[in-house]
């Protein structure tokens, strides 16, 4: 409990607090993580989520990918997403850097969200760059047809970053900026096994930020973190918010 109180004080007194989130924050919304017992990689082959596979086998890609991307349409934010949005509204959190592609931070009300792995609810034409909402292609995708651009008829890719694809440049540069300028970084629900996101908290620490991790398990950051809060992010963030409100 003392740890929660201390973290609440640190956040309340911060000038540039930033959150880095991973798939663990969305488990309360019913979206599984990649790794772990119930992780998506136990069900689907990660080899099918490479740029190369998509380009060579778009039909097969979509017949698997639909199981990951279509459920995002009707997902609702978890308590954790709402707490981060409220902390931003209170002027405490300045940015949420997320590896998630589910759009739930924005749905909960967060404004400054850096989606460094893109957004799985959007589709992008690789040829003309036109963007679409995936919900306009549900029937096509469910029929195992490859969604096609309405302008140039080329194949559409989810606007989520596939393995072997570059990160969206401006968003990634912004995430580096926020990591280097943060005085506190909350690192929530990420195994920190995916680069370059995994390095961001180390950059923040190097520049003097206090690091607070919230995770069910150990992470590679534990030796460096100032506070390691073990448990469900929904419960821990709710406690932190209540503590901040009582300060
Ligand atoms: P990961 O490697 O699957 O790790 C998830 C982490 O979350 C683990 O360390 C768990 O211990 C932890 N965790 C799980 N549930 C909770 C919880 N309730 N509270 C606190 N911690 C919890 O996922 P990462 O995000 O680290 O990996 C990055 C990948 C996952 C990115 O490329 C994402 O695009 C991708 N991904 C995103 C989503 C999504 O958008 N919701 C879902 C699945 C995968």
Asked whether residue 105 falls in the same domain as residue 197, the answer is yes
pLDDT at 55: 95
Q: 118: closest CA among 73, 83, 170? A: 170
| Number of domains the chain is built from | 2
**pLDDT tens per residue across span 55-111:** 999 999 999 999 999 999 999 999 999 999 999 999 999 999 999 999 999 999 999
Ligand 1 centroid vs 62 CA: distance in angstroms? 22
Residue 233 predicted with pLDDT over 70: yes
Q: What's the CATH number where 66 sits? A: 3.30.1600.10
Asked whether residue 68 falls in the same domain as residue 81, the answer is no
CA–CA distance, 215 with 125 (Å, rounded to integer): 36
Ligand 1 centroid vs 33 CA: distance in angstroms? 4
Asked whether residue 102 falls in the same domain as residue 62, the answer is no
Asked whether residue 145 falls in the same domain as residue 203, the answer is no
Which of 19, 20, 24, 233 has the most ligand 1 atoms within 8 A of CB, as the residue to mutate?
A: 24
Which of 19, 22, 117 has the most ligand 1 atoms within 8 A of CB, as the residue to mutate?
A: 22
Name the domain boundary from 159, 188, 222.
Answer: 159
Ligand 1 centroid vs 36 CA: distance in angstroms? 9
Ligand 1 contact, 69 CB (< 6 A): no
Q: Residue 203 sits in which domain range?
A: 1-31+77-119+167-247
**pLDDT tens per residue across span 70-79:** 999 999 999 9
97-110 burial, b at 16+ Cβ within 10 Å, e below that, comes to bbbbbbbbbbbbeb
């Amino acid at each position: 409990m003392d740890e929660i109180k201390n973290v609440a004080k640190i956040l309340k007194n911060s000038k540039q607090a930033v959150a880095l989130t991973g798939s663990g924050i969305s488990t309360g919304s019913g979206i599984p993580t990649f790794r772990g017992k119930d992780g998506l990689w136990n069900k689907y082959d990660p080899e099918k989520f490479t740029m190369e596979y998509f380009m060579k086998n778009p039909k097969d890609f979509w017949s698997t990918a639909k199981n990951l991307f279509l459920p995002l349409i009707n997902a609702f934010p978890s308590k954790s997403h709402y707490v981060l949005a409220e902390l931003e509204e209170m002027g405490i959190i300045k940015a949420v850097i997320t590896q998630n592609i589910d759009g739930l931070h924005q749905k909960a009300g967060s404004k400054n969200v850096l989606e460094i792995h893109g957004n799985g609810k959007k589709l992008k034409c690789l040829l003309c760059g036109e963007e679409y909402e995936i919900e306009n292609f549900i029937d096509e995708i469910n029929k195992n047809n490859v969604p096609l651009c309405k302008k140039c008829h080329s194949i559409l890719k989810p606007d989520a970053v596939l393995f072997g694809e570059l990160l969206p440049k401006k968003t990634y540069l912004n995430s580096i900026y926020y990591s280097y300028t943060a005085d506190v970084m909350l690192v929530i629900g990420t195994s920190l096994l995916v680069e370059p996101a995994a390095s961001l908290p180390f950059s923040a620490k190097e520049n003097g930020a206090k690091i607070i991790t919230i995770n069910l398990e150990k992470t590679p950051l534990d030796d460096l973190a100032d506070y390691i809060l073990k448990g469900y992010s929904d419960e821990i963030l709710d406690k932190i918010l209540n503590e901040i409100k009582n300060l």
